[in-house]
Chain A
Amino acid sequence: MKLHDHLTDTLDRIDQTGPDLDRLTTTARIRGGALRRRRATGLSVAAGVAALALTGGLFAGLSGSEGSVPLASDPGRTGAPVVTPDLDGPRAATTGQSAVLALRWALDQQRPGAATELAGQLFATGGDYYVELHWADADGLGSSLVGLNVQHGRGMHVDSCAEITAWCRVSTLSDGSQQTEYDETDPVPDGVGRRRVVDLLRPDHLRIVATSTNGFEQAGGVWDLTRTSPPLTFGDLEAITRQPIWGDTLPVAFVEAGEHMTDYRDINDHGGWIGGNS
């Protein structure tokens, strides 16, 4: 029997009714429309940041200050409080809110820009967490996603470049941490989705993965490109992953500030349609 006939016979048995085309159309219109709106919002935020960066540079020039003074992310935009942590002070149990505030703080140490749409998910049983935010870099080229994943154990740590088709480098740091830096590219009809990743496995077996993309990967796998390349460099991502703050606890300032966040979004999609055996 030809393979096409095998496939057809099997599909005829398991798919007798076919998809609900009305529901498919309606759902696609809703999700696709939301995607359009998010794209428009992202561009608007980017334009605003570009204007802000230009204004900041002008004022810096008039006052004789250095033009490279970082533009801290704008807390007023998200309702998230400003946090100035005491890194050597007391710590408290990590929450999703505190983790994303810590990510924003770590980003502010590296680059000028504005953070919005702070979100995260915390797995209470294992202490793992993933947080993300929309980062409108002061380069004004477009808003995109920055994510941070903290996991206990080696887990899915990428420890070789064998499966990476784009640029990749594996190294062992002086403290014994294993670090893999790599780029991933996903051809999409609109262009090329780019994901820059630093995957750090510390000697205490805490895995920290920081990512920067050139767009937004929405729930369900929608990939919305907003710029040609990720705004964060490998150096930025490495600095974020190597911050000593990550773990089951965070400096208490983050945790207390997180209690007052008003627009934190709890991610609870658990991966959409991803499946298969590999």
Chain B
Amino acid sequence: MGVSISETDVGVTQPRKVARVQDFDELVIATGRTLHRAALLLTAGDHHLAEDLLQTTYAKVYAAWRRVSHADDPVAYTRTVLTRTYLSHRRLRRSSERPTDALPDRGSEPPDAADRLDLMAALRLLSADDRVVVVLRYWLDRSVAETARELGLSETAVRTRSRRALARLRVHLTDLEEES
């Protein structure tokens, strides 16, 4: 059984012809590039971490493929796995159930370009929860209602986090326009 999918479903700006996803590979092809970029934003530009996050996401989806392929919206399911995997590991690190002295200090990793510094450094200043909202709302173009549903938050909470995140970003991105 195939499921309907298009790149517009995952928030890219250039829609393409809707394809029928017959198997897992098609889902990866249709969503991989956009979700990779979402992972890059969630990890504030760290390519290695982003790739690992993306691989973890698709591994989970593959493990549950029979259920995913029958879901109403497999793309939304995959997107939710991505964001929740990210948030879940942030919480795990805080509780520090494993020794952490060997973990790389990604937060102090020097960026390799001035532009990257501006945006990625600004993203690093956001909490994980706020960063996820930014990525869903302003990169994946999810509505407030969709973001709230996917993160298990109220719409009020999403709006609050969006405002807070944008205010912090605006300190570093002086040309950032008001969002409607």
Interface residues of A, Cβ cutoff 8 Å to B:
1-4, 6-11, 13-15, 18-19, 21, 24-25, 27-29, 31-33, 35-36, 39, 121, 123, 126, 128-130, 147, 149, 151, 155-156, 158, 163, 184, 186-190, 193, 195, 197, 199, 209, 211, 217, 220-224, 270-278
Contacts and interface: CB of A to CB of B under 8 A. Distances in A.
Given A19-B54, A130-B98, A222 B60 contact: yes
Contacts of B176: 1-3, 6
B141 A278 contact: no
B101 A276 contact: no
B171 interface: no
Given A187-B152, A209-B96, 10 more contacts: A3-B134, A4-B139, A7-B138, A18-B36, A35-B60, A123-B99, A123-B102, A272-B89, A274-B103, A276-B90
Interface of B: 13, 24-25, 28-29, 32-33, 36-37, 40-41, 43-56, 58-65, 77, 80-81, 84-85, 87-104, 106-107, 113, 115-116, 119-120, 124-125, 127-128, 134, 138-139, 141, 152, 166, 169, 173, 175-177, 179
Contacts of A195: 95
Contacts, number: 222
Majority secondary structure of chain A interface residues (helix, strand, loop or mixed): mixed
11 contacts: A3-B169, A18-B33, A28-B55, A32-B58, A130-B97, A155-B96, A186-B84, A209-B96, A271-B100, A273-B49, A276-B128
Chain B CB within 10 A, most for which of A10, A128, A211, A275: A275
Contact of B84 (A4, A36, A188, A199): A188
